[in-house]
Amino acid sequence: MVPESSDAGAGDPSGESGRDTLGSGRARGFALRLVGLAAAILILAGAGVWAIERTRHTPAPAAHAARLLPSDAATPSLASCEWVPYHNPDADLTDVGTPPTAVPAAGTAVMTITTNLGVIRISMDPRITPCAVANFVYLAGKHFFDHSSCHRLLDVPNIGLLQCGDPTGSSTGGPMYQFPDEKRSAPVMLPSAPLMSYRLVSPDASDDPYVVMPSVAPPPETTYAPGVVAMANQGPDTNGSQFFMVYRASRLEDSYERFGTVTEGLDILTTVARGGDDGAYGQVGGGHPKVQLTFQTVTVHSG
């Protein structure tokens, strides 16, 4: 996640384990850093920083698909979701309870975000990512996102996205639960590139700021098409409330759960992008958007 204030967010956007991020005195959040050619990029959500550099890679746990509950229908209509309690004194968490464990796994859902710049609509498919959809249904029902602003714009070569979903704007905000990764949907992606090597590095080492971890077969790097909406995370199975919307084809590691597609309002994202950012996140990439995008209300309707 990304801090909203200039100092708090200068290092990275994410938030879980309470590690200091990139020399700041305040834990700012988890970040996945992609180092492509010359640029270091982080998609974050939490409090602490993990980074992925092209070279080697730590084991990427297999994605957890939501468990489908028995049903008389040929296609199960319910899925079972796990909401894992999450407590971190260095994160700006909000206790809103947890969604139900049995959630719809059929039909369609549309998230409508009314902003200060217009309406954004996101189409979601409960058949593919039922827990992610249920998460947003629940949080929207709690008015969790109302009056929050997107805290990070990342506009660099080969990446264009806007990160939102932190009601505190601190980059460490979220609910007091997380949920595992689900099966990902290929239809919202462009063709993936050949496999590359990655290295997992952690900036909390005592001497060297980067610690190389054991490496195995790397995950693919993928092009996220314009309009893709995916979860920001702190690593595998750490989804919360923060998400990002892609406004330009973006090369990122295939480790962010894609749960929706912007069907209306993509022009709003490009308007924000044209305004640029303040560079608050420095070497991890991006900053607070100079053109503020504020969520006035967020609702989810199922079909």
Give the model confidence (pLDDT) of 7-50 as tens digits: 333 333 343 333 333 223 333 343 433 333 333 455 666 543 22
pTM above 0.85, yes or no: no
> Taking 60 as the threshold, does the pLDDT of residue 90 lie above it?
yes
Confidence grade of residue 221 (pLDDT, cut at 50, 70, 90): confident
Domain count, the chain: 1
Instruction: Decide which of 280 and 69 is more confident.
Output: 280
Q: How confident is the model at residue 69 (pLDDT cuts 50, 70, 90)?
A: low
d(CA 144, CA 75) in angstroms, rounded, equals 32
**Residue 17: inside a domain, yes or no?**
yes
Q: Which residues contact 48 (CB under 8 A, 6 or more apart)?
A: 14, 15, 16, 17, 18, 19, 20, 21, 27, 29, 30, 90, 204, 234
Instruction: Find all residues with CB under 8 Å of 301, minimum gap 6, and list them.
Output: 109, 110, 112
Q: Which of 253, 234, 271, 281 is nearest to 120 (CA)?
A: 271
Cα dihedral angle (106, 182, 70, 101), rounded to 10 degrees? -90
In a domain, 28, yes or no: yes
Please check whether residue 42 is in contact with residue 14, taking contact to mean a CB–CB distance below 8 angstroms.
yes
Residue 247 forms part of a structural domain: yes
Q: Write out pLDDT tens, residues 183-216.
A: 654 333 333 333 223 233 333 433 333 333 334 4
Instruction: Tell me if 157 is assigned to some domain.
Output: yes
What CATH code is carried by the domain that includes residue 233?
Answer: 2.40.100.10
Domain presence at residue 65: no
| Cβ 160 vs Cβ 154: under 8 Å | yes
- The type of residue at 58 is T
Q: Which residue has the tokens 């053109």?
A: 291
Which residues form the domain of 114?
Answer: 6-60+79-302
Q: Is residue 67 part of a domain?
A: no
Over residues 248-253, mean pLDDT = 94
